Amino acid sequence: DAPTQRSTSMREFNKSSKLDNVLYDVRGPITDEAARMEAEGQRILKLNIGNTAPFGFRTPDEVIEDMRTQLTDCEGYSEARGLFSARKAIMQYAQLKGIPNVSMDGIYTGNGVSELIQLCMNALLNNGDEILIPMPDYPLWTACATLAGGTPVHYVCDEQAEWNPDVADIESKITPRTKAIVIINPNNPTGAVYPREVLEQIVEIARKHQLMIFSDEIYDRLVMDGFEHVSTATLAPDLPCVTFSGLSKSHMVCGFRIGWMVLSGNKRCMKDFMYGVNMLSNMRLCSNVPGQSIVQTALGGHQSVNNYIVPGGRIYEQRNYIYEALNAIDGVTAVKPKAAFYIFPKLDVEKFNITSDEQFALDLLHEKRILITRGGGFAWPEPDHFRIVFLPRMGVLQEAVEDLADFLEHYRQR
């Protein structure tokens, strides 16, 4: 009949070729399979996304109360960069961390750090410009750099050195096209917290080769065991720096979509970049205003996250448990995370005959209904790693690890 005929002659709409090399596996084919199984009525334990609220982590009451009382004032757009009160609080936070040369016009709020990563990559990169990104990475950096036309060049973080960046590898990968370096500290997926000396060496390389520094510090308030978190920008007052953080993780409000970035250091040399950032920021009008409205209370108020990351606290105890329990499994080793809520264990590929980490993740999903993220999702080149989010309560985690051990006891990949 006529309507069908017309629709069969319709041309096909393919995704843009800009997406050809873009990978974002934290939500990808394996998560789609998990969703399909869930739709069939199976219960899946999701250890794949750092989403705190579903695991019972709560934001301080005062933050919710603050949003409630302000909600009716948040109906309009804010200034593109963000509310004055939010940016003032972010400025004070940045100053307390020792970040030099911060001013109100260099602070932008975003719909999570995610939006600002994309915005910066679009503002900076021309086709073929290279940007150094850690490996393993938080995959949004690689995806956004690629989508912007840039070429992500991955530098190794060394498992043998507590997952700290391999400074020699960074230097060896610099070319005349290298424009910037991304540092993720504290790190997702490894939980590493970089020592000051390592950061100083990276900054020295950036100085020598005139690179812009992007430092993703969204986990800076989730550092355990008394390790010091050094904001990279504090070591680079003479370089163009952009520091990212937000409330998703520290205040357990991933769903509110509120993050920020702070431009600091040498602003003279990034005038034109700032012009681009402004333009893109104006084009998105503003970030979610209710999210912005709580920044002042959240940053200045009760830091309930502190109770989670000390002995007796959930994140601390769950971290200790998962670290010990994974290392007790024959064929699995893992470095102890110092921050955040991820662990990036290594599998003995010979023992398990693993050639595909995607197949490993699928096999575990099908057999034990546990969803993890394969190492390849973090630009890790070998099939020997995967990431676990250790946010579920202890009992659930224990069950998950027992299931994993049981699964691995007989596992040989075909």
Q: How far is Cα 254 from Cα 224, in angstroms, rounded to an integer?
A: 21
Q: How far is Cα 165 from Cα 183, in angstroms, rounded to an integer?
A: 9
Q: What is the DSSP string of 336-404?
A: PP-BTTEE--EE-HHHHT-S-HHHHHHHHHHHH-EE-EEGGGGT--STTBEEEE--S-HHHHHHHHHHH
Whose Cβ is closer to ligand PLP: residue 114's or residue 373's? Answer: 114
Whose Cβ is closer to ligand PLP: residue 165's or residue 259's? Answer: 259
Stretch that binds ligand PLP, among 91-99, 108-116, 142-150, 191-199 (CB under 6 A): 108-116
**By the rule CB under 6 A, 112 interacts with ligand PLP:** yes
With CB under 6 A as the contact rule, the residue among 106, 136, 259, 375 that binds ligand PLP is 259
Stretch that binds ligand PLP, among 16-24, 31-39, 111-119, 222-230 (CB under 6 A): 111-119
| Of 405, 386, 400, nearest in space to 346 by CA | 386
**Element containing residue 197 per DSSP (H, E):** helix 196-209
Query: Before 186, cis peptide (omega within 30)?
Result: yes
Whose Cβ is closer to ligand PLP: residue 273's or residue 342's? Answer: 342
- Residue that the structure tokens 């809520």 belong to: 341
Whose Cβ is closer to ligand PLP: residue 54's or residue 73's? Answer: 54
Contacts of 131 (CB under 8 A, 6+ apart): 121, 124, 125, 145, 150, 151, 152, 153, 178, 179, 180, 181, 182
Whose Cβ is closer to ligand PLP: residue 188's or residue 264's? Answer: 188
With CB under 6 A as the contact rule, the residue among 254, 294, 309, 339 that binds ligand PLP is 254
Q: How far is the CB of 133 from ligand PLP (least distance, A)?
A: 11
Query: How do 212-216 and 240-246 pair as beta strands?
Result: parallel
Q: How far is Cα 173 from Cα 203, in angstroms, rounded to an integer?
A: 15
Do 326 and 345 meet the contact criterion of CB atoms below 8 Å apart?
yes
Q: How far is the CB of 208 from ligand PLP (least distance, A)?
A: 26
Residue number with the smallest Cβ distance to ligand PLP: 112
Q: How far is the CB of 257 from ligand PLP (least distance, A)?
A: 7
DSSP SS3 for 99: coil
Whose Cβ is closer to ligand PLP: residue 113's or residue 199's? Answer: 113
Tokens of 129: 């410009």
**By the rule CB under 6 A, 106 interacts with ligand PLP:** no
Whose Cβ is closer to ligand PLP: residue 185's or residue 408's? Answer: 185
**By the rule CB under 6 A, 216 interacts with ligand PLP:** yes
**By the rule CB under 6 A, 114 interacts with ligand PLP:** yes
Q: How far is Cα 349 from Cα 43, in angstroms, rounded to an integer?
A: 28
**By the rule CB under 6 A, 215 interacts with ligand PLP:** no
Whose Cβ is closer to ligand PLP: residue 258's or residue 361's? Answer: 258
Whose Cβ is closer to ligand PLP: residue 28's or residue 354's? Answer: 28
Do 129 and 150 meet the contact criterion of CB atoms below 8 Å apart?
yes
x-or-dash pattern for ligand PLP, window 233-252, by CB under 6 A? -------------x-x----
Contacts of 143 (CB under 8 A, 6+ apart): 22, 23, 24
Residues 183-202 that bind ligand PLP (CB under 6 A): 184, 188
Q: What is the DSSP string of 284-321?
A: T--S-HHHHHTHHHHHHS--THHHHSSTTSHHHHHHHH
x-or-dash pattern for ligand PLP, window 27-66, by CB under 6 A? -----------------------x----------------
Q: How far is the CB of 350 from ligand PLP (least distance, A)?
A: 31
Tokens of 98: 């020792």
**Beta partners for residue 181, in sequence order:** 132, 213
What is the size of the binding site for ligand PLP (CB under 6 A)?
A: 13
Whose Cβ is closer to ligand PLP: residue 125's or residue 183's? Answer: 183
Residues 116-175 that bind ligand PLP (CB under 6 A): 138
Q: How far is the CB of 108 from ligand PLP (least distance, A)?
A: 13
- Residue that the structure tokens 């520094």 belong to: 213
Q: How far is the CB of 61 from ligand PLP (least distance, A)?
A: 21
Q: Which residues bind ligand PLP (CB under 6 A)?
A: 50, 112-114, 138, 184, 188, 216, 218, 246, 248, 254, 259
